[in-house]
Amino acid sequence: MASKETKVYQAGHLFTGTEWLKEQAIVVCNGKILEVLPVKECSVKPVSTHAKIAPAFMDIQIYGAYGKLLSVYPEADALHKLYQYCSEGGASHFQPTVATNSYEVFYRAIDAVNVYRKEGGKGCIGLHIEGPWINTLKRGAHLDTFIHSPSLEQAKALLEYGNGVITMITLAPEVCRKEVIDLIKSYGVVISAGHSNASYEEAMDAFDSGIPAATHLYNAMSPLQHRAPGMVGAIFNHPKVMASIVPDGFHVDFAAIKIAKQQMGERLFVITDAVTETTEGPYPHHLKEDRYESNGTLSGSALTMGKSLQNLIHKVGIDVSEALRMVSLYPAQVMGKDRTMGKIEKGFNANLVLLNDLFEIEGIVVAD
């Protein structure tokens, strides 16, 4: 079984993504899981032993870390810092995000991802562009000066330049023509509905037409009201659409997260929506308690995925297994990566989070 590339990680309790197993060994070779078997059946000495091991987390909406907001510093070093921040919080993979901005900033962020990948940077699944094709009535901290409905030419130019790099776009479906949405889909980009004032009917139609996700549930979208169910109501009622949520207690009250979880079940997943302190650029983020504000408006969280997990378990009361899926398997499903990520099974990529008995992060193992 053993070779110089083979490594074994041992867990007192292993969460595979579907079930808990006791005293298990995970055999890894060249970034792939070769085998999961009881410790007593494994003859290879483990490189490390942990109380608990689970699938590594994935954060598909995060803007910057350690003083480098990607939109202000669209360079590879900002992505290296993001990876460090995410890995310290238990995430092996991340999707750097740029909020509503100029096209020049988007192009430079695309360049940064390409350079990061050429340098061998780990964990970056692609770029998430949030806006500027959103509804100004639900812009939140996004600047009105950049917001617009895109022409087919604008969308095609951005998608062509970012082909293979742009993996998600958040937009308001009511401000984008069908031709634009169809074009985005043709590039394999995941569309997420957000910063939207869509009616319940408009939102349901958008989800029925193939938009698979929604961005930060409750925040910057038409609310659930008894005579106007809005986008929140459509997300609750639609059988397939998945939605991200920011579990910091500031973006959404923990009781509202519990309500959403009861309504949505496996369709609800976590993002950090984390930013970093900055005084430069159009979005100066300043830390206030455990959140960030920009120009007097809530603009991002100070979460890690590890802290998100703790909040889901202790503040919302979600079962540990389900909380773990909300930070790993479900984001992987949204991004179409659940055939190789989000589980600990033979043939899957060896992306692992190493935990103590309190579900605190001890480290990660990354396949790529």
- Among positive and negative, which fits the CA dihedral 230, 234, 235, 237? positive
Q: Which residues are catalytic?
A: 273
How confident is residue 2, by pLDDT bands cut at 50, 70 and 90? very low
The type of residue at 259 is I
Spatial CA neighbour of 223 closest among 211, 213, 235, 212: 235
What's the pLDDT score for residue 4?
57
The two tokens of residue 196 are 């939207």
Average pLDDT score over residue span 1-18: 86
Ordered DSSP codes for 50-90? EEEEEEPEEEEEE-EETTEETTTS-SHHHHHHHHHHHHHTT
Whether 1 maps to a domain, the answer reads: no
The type of residue at 50 is H
Check whether residue 62 and residue 48 sit in a common domain. no
Whether 146 maps to a domain, the answer reads: yes
Q: Domain of 286: which CATH number? A: 3.20.20.140
Check whether residue 30 and residue 108 sit in a common domain. no
Question: pLDDT per residue over 119-128, tens digit each?
Answer: 999 999 999 9
Question: pLDDT per residue over 275-313, tens digit each?
Answer: 999 898 888 899 998 899 988 889 999 999 999 999 999
Residue ranges making up the domain that contains 361: 6-55+343-365
What's the pLDDT score for residue 35?
97
In the chain, the number of structural domains is 2
CA dihedral 300→301→306→311, nearest 10 degrees, is: -130
Query: Longest C-alpha distance within the chain, in Å?
Result: 65
Check whether residue 37 and residue 154 sit in a common domain. no
Whether 160 maps to a domain, the answer reads: yes
Check whether residue 100 and residue 223 sit in a common domain. yes
Q: Which residues make Cβ contacts (< 8 Å) with residue 303, sequence separation at least 6?
A: 89, 246, 247, 248, 272, 273, 274, 311
285-288/291-294 β-pairing? antiparallel
Check whether residue 291 and residue 355 sit in a common domain. no
N-term to C-term CA, the chain:
22
Check whether residue 217 and residue 239 sit in a common domain. yes
Kindly report the pTM of this predicted structure: 0.96
Check whether residue 143 and residue 112 sit in a common domain. yes
Check whether residue 112 and residue 21 sit in a common domain. no
Check whether residue 330 and residue 352 sit in a common domain. no
Check whether residue 249 and residue 360 sit in a common domain. no
Select the more confidently predicted residue: 78 or 285.
Answer: 78
3-state secondary structure of 156: helix
Whether 191 maps to a domain, the answer reads: yes
Q: Supply φ then ψ for residue 113, to 5 degrees.
A: -65, -40
Q: Domain of 350: which CATH number? A: 2.30.40.10
Looking at residue 173, the DSSP 8-state letter turns out to be G
What's the pLDDT score for residue 283?
85
Check whether residue 35 and residue 146 sit in a common domain. no
Q: Rounded distance, CA 190 to CA 338, Å?
A: 14
Q: How many CA atoms lie within 13 A of 211 on its CB side?
A: 29
Tell me how far CA of residue 180 lies from CA of 77, 133, 334, in angstroms. 33, 10, 21
Does residue 174 register a pLDDT over 90?
Answer: yes
Check whether residue 264 and residue 358 sit in a common domain. no
Q: Rounded distance, CA 287 to CA 224, Å?
A: 30
